[in-house]
Chains A and B, each alone.
Chain A
Amino acid sequence: MSLWDAIWSGLAGVLTWPAFGLMLLTIPIGLIFGIIPGMGGNMGLALLIPFTFGMKPLEGFAFLLGMHTVVHTGGSIPAILFDTPGTGPNAATCIEGFPMAQKGEAGRALGAALTSSMLGGIIGAIFMALIIPVLRPVVLAFGPPEFFMLAMMGLAFISLMSGKSLLKGLMAGGMGLIISFVGMDPQTGIVRFSFGLLQLMDGINIVTIVVGLFALAEVIDMAIKGGTIAHTKSADIKGTGVWQGIKDTFTHWWLVIRTSIIGGIIGFIPGLGGDAAAFICYGHALQTSKRKEEFGKGCVEGVIGVDAAHNAKEGGALIPTLAFGVPGSSGMAILLGAFMILGVSPGKEMFTQNLNLVFSMVWILVIANIIAVILCLPFAGPLSKITFLRTSVMIPFILVCGILGSYLTTSRISDIIITAIFGLIGYGMKRFDYARGPLILGIVLGKIAENALHISLNLYGLKFIFRPIAFIILVITLGTVLYPAYKEHMKKKLAEEGR
């Protein structure tokens, strides 16, 4: 089947009934799962998979991907309004999105988030389609040494996310790393940090932590402070509405494209885990911004870069999943399970006999993203007014949804206790000015980095650092970390010389 035929027959497949109908059905479901904090997309996938038993492959994928693609789009909404990410990657949306809401700019943030999510998803899907011809050599070029270096690069971005105190950011990152080590260590078979509890043998689920660290901590903060989320009186100030947010996204179109491609690449490389994509792109947006000082206080570029990335990564993540059965993101890991039920095997045949199915999936990503944003934008304006309500009205809602989401993800009561503990930790971090982003980044990247390091040393010894791609990534990382320090140093020198 030629590439051209596959592209168009793929589209034709998506536009037929019942596949299209199934997709329309699950898009709102995905948005709702995304919006309710804690009830992330992965749980939604797990709940929907049993229903695919008996469906034809195209129908099954329309059903599942329709939901999965739009989850992060919905997840940005509570991230901006309540500093409570709807899904793990949305934690990065909180960093700039919530301060914007506090400034009364919730509408602008929502407009930017939704638009960039849509564009990111579309660009990610296009990226996926374009990569297909060179797929094999590129995916195969990345092995454990490269994964380790990429994880290091991600961790280096902690320095960028630490806000005012680098030291506190590093501490938070370190705590994140330690938390990621909880559970069975594949290198020794020993269970670490489990305190003898069977429930901790698999480690701590990221959703459990995120709900506690953000949603619960926010609830505690709201309960203590009272008042409203937005610290300004009204939303009628010019330049703060949804339309402004949409315009901002197109103004920063180059940022959207860059972060979409970075997000797609990170999703595309198996072993890194797409959850880090949003954080890494936040760091990138910060680094390349002409308005660095605004970051941390509510800069719309921070929202745009993050949201484009977390939708783009799903397009990238689909590739290694389809080509090798190796998931590119946590959502893909669950989707793989559905393959077996639908009678489809990942592998070479997908790209030869089933190429039209692959392109159907690309089209689903594109169309679902567009429909999702069309559904959400009308609500963005009214939703942004929530930030002017008394917080005591919202606390019960956030509390119930958060705890429900945490429990439903793993069906373990012990996880509610863990959420509560992280709620206290999160509040403490807010109170004492510790950025929470680095903690999440440490958790997301810790296990990957450790595993990749052990395997690299096992296979190649210390020489693994000098493998070409790994070395390049290392140089970029060092450059990223050292360059700002160098610039500071040069500034001081020039200032002294000018005296």
Chain B
Amino acid sequence: MGKQTKIYIIILVFVLYFFGMQGVTKAAVQPDLNFYKGKLVTYIVATKPGGGYDTYARLIGKYLQKYLPGSTVIINNVPGAGHIIGANTLYKAAPDGLTIGTFNTGLIYSQIVGQEGIQFDLRKFSWIGKASSETRVFIVGAKAPYRTFKDILESKEPIKMPSSGVGSQDHNETMILAYALGAKFQPVPGYAGKEGEMAIIRGEVPATIGSYTGLIGMIKAKECRVLLQFGAKRTHAGLENVPHISELKVSPTGKALINLVNNVDLIGRLTAAPPNVPVARLEALRYAYKKTLTDPDFRKEAEKLGLDIDPAYGDEVKKMVLDALNQPPENLKLLKSIISQ
């Protein structure tokens, strides 16, 4: 064999080796469950104890222990700044696979707008999964004069709607939908928590947007009528015959904005880990999460607590988040201008 041939062969071997290795690493990475024996996993919840995110985390954490044998999962509540402090804490935690966390998907809007205080990039989190899909509804008070959503769109006066504050998820959503649908929504900020619902019952304001599960008490008590739903589409208790936002005729930009809102609502109760967690450990977490969410006892307990379960896992969630954030630049500019009014 000539010298040149030998060199070609050596290069060929290296190239084959290189590509071969790629194939090996991209093939099924074995989840490193052994790593978790005897270890403490911290589950950061970006809210105070009690309430939705905390309850989901405690239930999921309980079953994660079962599927990461030998591990103990503890909940660490890190509230503040509308979930930003908790998300920051998770982002900056050591990427050793021993810290995971949950926070509000509405931070997507906050990141788009460049909210002060954000120290994370949602694109870079190691995504483990999400537990539910939110259905959100547009309701009017029982005494309000609007019968269908068409009445709302055709209203001559602005529709006053309570919001917890400029920059909050409900406020952002209201502004985005107003723009997308060409509706005259006028948010009235300052209503924290359920005070907005009380305002509807009092007749102070005619309408509001909220989560279906959060408003179901009011809906069942007939204190309000549901005129529109968005996010995950449902047809039970009070939502039969309620149109879904995707059925409305809107401009292409409007459609893109509505898609964003729908997608954010579909990523409910997410769980993530800091960026750059070793692949085998991330796979272990994803494996345990998936087993948890499909465990029949888990499902039974969740139903008893009234927790909606509609899971998605790993890369699927990553894709949903990236799709929401990687909008065309004109859309991002438009969103920024709508939200920061």
Contact = CB atoms under 8 A, between A and B. Distances in A.
A199 B314 CA distance: 32
Interface centre among A191, A271, A451, A455 (most CB of B within 10 A): A455
Contacts of B201: 140, 324
Contact of B88 (A50, A140, A191, A198): A198
B85 A348 contact: no
Contact of A270 (B116, B166, B195): B195
A340 interface: yes
Interface string A469-482: 00000000000000
A336 to B, nearest CB: 7
B125 interface: no
Contact of A455 (B51, B190, B197, B340): B190
Contact of A325 (B84, B164, B191, B194): B194
Given A49-B50, A186-B166, A202 B80 contact: yes
B11 interface: no
Interface string A250-270: 000000000000000000001
Contacts of A140: 198, 201-202
Given A186-B166, A324-B198, A347-B221, A458 B188 contact: yes
Contacts of A143: 199, 202, 204
Interface in A135-185: 139-140, 143-144, 184-185
B306 interface: yes
Contacts, number: 125
Contacts of B80: 198-199, 201-202
B48 A327 contact: no
A85 B136 CA distance: 44
A184 B50 contact: no
A345 interface: yes
B264 to A, nearest CB: 19
B182 interface: no
Interface in A328-358: 333-341, 343, 345-349
Contacts of B305: 340-341, 343
B49 interface: yes
Interface stretch (B52-60, B65-73, B231-239, B292-300): B52-60
Interface string A36-73: 00000000001001100100000000000000000000
B75 interface: yes
B15 interface: no
Question: Which of the four size classes fits the interface of chain A?
Answer: 35 or more
Question: Which of the four size classes fits the interface of chain B?
Answer: 35 or more
A452 B191 CA distance: 9
A343 B307 CA distance: 10
A459 interface: yes
B33 interface: no
B50 A340 contact: yes
Contacts of B48: 46, 334, 337
A2 interface: no
A459 B85 contact: no
Given A202-B80, A338-B50, A187 B190 contact: yes
Given A50-B75, A186-B189, A345 B166 contact: no
Contacts of A198: 80-81, 84-85, 88, 117
B205 interface: yes
Interface of A is mostly: helix
Contacts of A348: 217, 221
Contacts of B188: 455, 458-459
A171 to B, nearest CB: 27
A201 B189 contact: no
Interface string B205-219: 100000000000110
Interface centre among B190, B197, B217, B221 (most CB of A within 10 A): B190
Contacts of B165: 184-187, 189
A454 interface: yes
A202 B48 CA distance: 13
Interface centre among B81, B205, B306 (most CB of A within 10 A): B81
Interface of A: 46, 49-50, 53, 139-140, 143-144, 184-189, 191, 198-199, 201-202, 270-271, 324-327, 333-341, 343, 345-349, 411, 451-452, 454-455, 458-459
29 contacts: A46-B77, A50-B49, A50-B58, A140-B201, A144-B204, A186-B168, A186-B192, A187-B166, A189-B171, A201-B80, A201-B81, A202-B80, A324-B198, A325-B193, A325-B194, A325-B217, A326-B193, A326-B195, A326-B198, A336-B50, A338-B50, A340-B306, A341-B50, A341-B54, A341-B58, A345-B306, A346-B217, A411-B78, A455-B188
Given A46-B50, A341-B305, A345-B306, 13 more contacts: A186-B164, A198-B84, A202-B81, A325-B194, A325-B197, A326-B197, A333-B193, A335-B50, A340-B55, A347-B218, A452-B190, A458-B188, A459-B188
Interface of B: 48-52, 54-55, 58, 75, 77-78, 80-82, 84-85, 88, 116-117, 160, 164-168, 171, 188-195, 197-199, 201-202, 204-205, 217-218, 221, 304-306, 340
